[in-house]
Amino acid sequence: CPSTKQHFACEYDCYGDSYFVDTDLSQLKEVFSGIKNSS
Amino acid sequence: MERKVSKICLASEPSVIHFLQVSWEKTLGSGFVITLTDGHSAWTGTVSASEISQEADDMAMEKEKYVDELRKALVSGAGPVDTYKFNFLKESGHFSFEKCLKDVSFRLGSFNLEKVASPAEVIRELICYCLDTVTEHQAKNEHLQKENERLLRDWKDAQGRFEKCVSAKETLETDLYERFILVLNEKKTKIRNLHKLLNEVQELEKNTEHDR
Amino acid sequence: MERKVSKICLASEPSVIHFLQVSWEKTLGSGFVITLTDGHSAWTGTVSASEISQEADDMAMEKEKYVDELRKALVSGAGPVDTYKFNFLKESGHFSFEKCLKDVSFRLGSFNLEKVASPAEVIRELICYCLDTVTEHQAKNEHLQKENERLLRDWKDAQGRFEKCVSAKETLETDLYERFILVLNEKKTKIRNLHKLLNEVQELEKNTEHDR
């Protein structure tokens, strides 16, 4: 719903990486794998 | 000139190994010289291209096919040992050979050989040819052996470089991720601090608003 | 049993090639059988270990060294062609050989050989040995050839995998950086926005302060 969407938009960037929570290897790999074609 | 020396046994003297030397220019079908020796005497004869064609006609066989049969019988010795039977009448010098299949054998050809006046020379020449062939093969062997060793070194080298590259790629990936995580978490800390600051300022703003 | 057949020329008949066959059990120094033939007649003799030691003593040479000289002279035919000179008296069967250095030659050894009653058998046996050696070398050649082809394939395969790995590593690096830049720039955008927001709020705060 819009509020959840709004919440996620504040917390995460468009690649699914959190703005606030520190990342680690598995998370960053997951974010990267979600980026279809980097170029 | 091509040449081949092979061991044969004559039907008339099965216990004595004879040596058949066949030498030819360009192709066997263009005619060849055949020499037979038992290590003591020697007989030789020349077979012309036309005689070969004649024999092929007599056997109603395609010349190519017939020459192939000749090659198998007189040169490569293809097939099981008793595939071919050789007959030689020393008196007349008549040499004939036949192909033995399961239960039938058919004559493949015959030539007249002349007895050689000085067999020692022919025998020496034949032994020299054999020794030269041994030397040639030995040299080829050594060359191939060296080639073998070089290829093995090259393969090991390429395999080593490949393995190094695989581990370098893994190291690179780990290393890059570590660096990325460091830089990214720096930014996230910055965002958290700015966010916290912003909340404080907004809080303040609200209170001031309220006071006013 | 080890065996070696080599061509030699006798000083007495330089134009006729002779064949020297030396066969021995374990080591040459433990004694050997020597056979000489000109393709027509054959002579043979056995040289015992004690005769070899005796010859070495006569030449005041270390036995090992002497056997090495024998090997070079009678077996491997090492060195330039005219390094060794062979003499053979057919009547007496006396065979001797000497080593010719630049301007001096010294006797290396001599044996008495017996004329063989049926040389044809010895010659046949020698030719068979040569032909078997040719066949053996041919088989070895084919094996080495196949081995070479396999190694070449393996090398090309490893080389191919290495090249693929190098380009995969480069691609990985580029790809990871590109993804990282995207994610990092998101954070930078966020920081810029927060900064901007913070400035606005602080500006507002200042004005409000001023108003108050």
Give the C-alpha separation, C160 to B77, whole Å. Answer: 42
Count the neighbouring beta carbons within 10 Å of the beta carbon of residue C120: 18
Q: Does C176 touch chain A (CB under 8 A)?
A: yes
Give the chains touching B; criterion: ≥3 Cβ pairs < 8 Å. Answer: A, C
What is the mean pLDDT of the segment spanning C95-124? 92
Q: pTM here? A: 0.80
Q: How far is A19 from chain B (nearest CA, A)?
A: 6
Q: At what angle do helices A25-34 and B119-211 cross, to 10 degrees?
A: 100
Q: Contact B109/B57 with Cβ under 8 angstroms?
A: no
CA-CA distance, B78 to B113, in Å (whole number)?
24
Average pLDDT over residues B198-205: 84
Closest residue to A22, CB basis, from B180, B188, B195: B188
| B141·C137 Cβ contact <8 A | yes
Nearest to B122 by CA among C1, C38, C80, C77: C38
Determine the residue type at C108: L
The pLDDT of residue A37 is: 62
What's the average model confidence in pLDDT over B1-28?
93
Query: What residues in B contact C138, CB-CB < 8 Å?
Result: 137
Q: What is the pLDDT of residue B120?
A: 96
Which residues, 6 or more positions from C96, have their beta carbon under 8 angstroms from its beta carbon? C86, C87, C88, C107, C109, C110, C111
Q: Which residues of C touch B198 (CB under 8 A)?
A: 194, 197-198, 201
Is residue A38 scored above 60 in pLDDT? no
- The count of residues in chain A is 39
Residues 6+ apart with CB under 8 A from C90: C41, C43, C115
Interface of B with C in 53-112 (CB under 8 A): none
pLDDT value of position B78: 66
Residues from chain B contacting residue C119 (CB–CB below 8 Å): 39-40
- CA-based nearest residue to C24, from C85, C88, C70: C70
Residue B73 has pLDDT above 60, yes or no: yes
Q: Do A32 and C186 touch (CB under 8 A)?
A: no
> Which residues on chain A are in Cβ contact (under 8 Å) with C175?
38
CA angle (C93 as vertex; C91, C99 as ends), nearest 5: 120
Mean pLDDT on C12-33: 94
Q: Which amino acid is at A8?
A: F
Could you give the C-alpha distances from C135 to B137, B144, C138, C139, C142, in angstroms and in order?
10, 16, 5, 6, 11
C138-167: per-residue pLDDT in tens? 999 999 999 999 999 999 999 999 999 999
Chains that touch A (3 or more CB pairs under 8 A): B, C
Long-range interactions of A25-28: CB distance < 8 A, separation 24+: A25/B177, A25/B178, A25/B181, A28/B177, A28/B180, A28/B181, A28/B184, A28/C183
Four-point Cα dihedral B95, B96, B100, B104, nearest 10? -140
Q: Sign (positive/negative) of CA torsion B122, B124, B126, B129? A: negative
CA C90 to chain centre: 40
Question: In the prediction, which pLDDT does C193 show?
Answer: 94
Which chain B residues touch C126 with a CB distance below 8 Å? 127
Cβ pair C97, C87 in contact under 8 A: yes
Q: Is the pLDDT of residue C82 over 90?
A: no
User: CA of C182: which chain A residue's CA is closest?
Assistant: A38
> ipTM above 0.85?
no
Q: Does C204 contact B at CB distance below 8 Å?
A: yes
Interface of A with B (CB under 8 A): 17-25, 28-29
Contact C179 A19 (CB under 8 A): no
- Rounded mean pLDDT, B133-160: 96
Q: Count Cβ neighbours within 10 Å for each residue of A1-39 and write b for 16 or more, e otherwise.
A: eeeeeeeeeeebbeeebbbeeebeeebbeebbeebeeee
Cα–Cα–Cα angle for C154, C160, C161, nearest 5°? 90
How many A/B residue pairs have CB atoms within 8 Å?
Answer: 25
Instruction: Tell me which long-range contacts C77-82 makes (C-beta under 8 A, separation of at least 24).
Output: C77/C6
Contact A35 C186 (CB under 8 A): no
- Partners of A31 on chain C (C-beta within 8 Å) are 179, 183
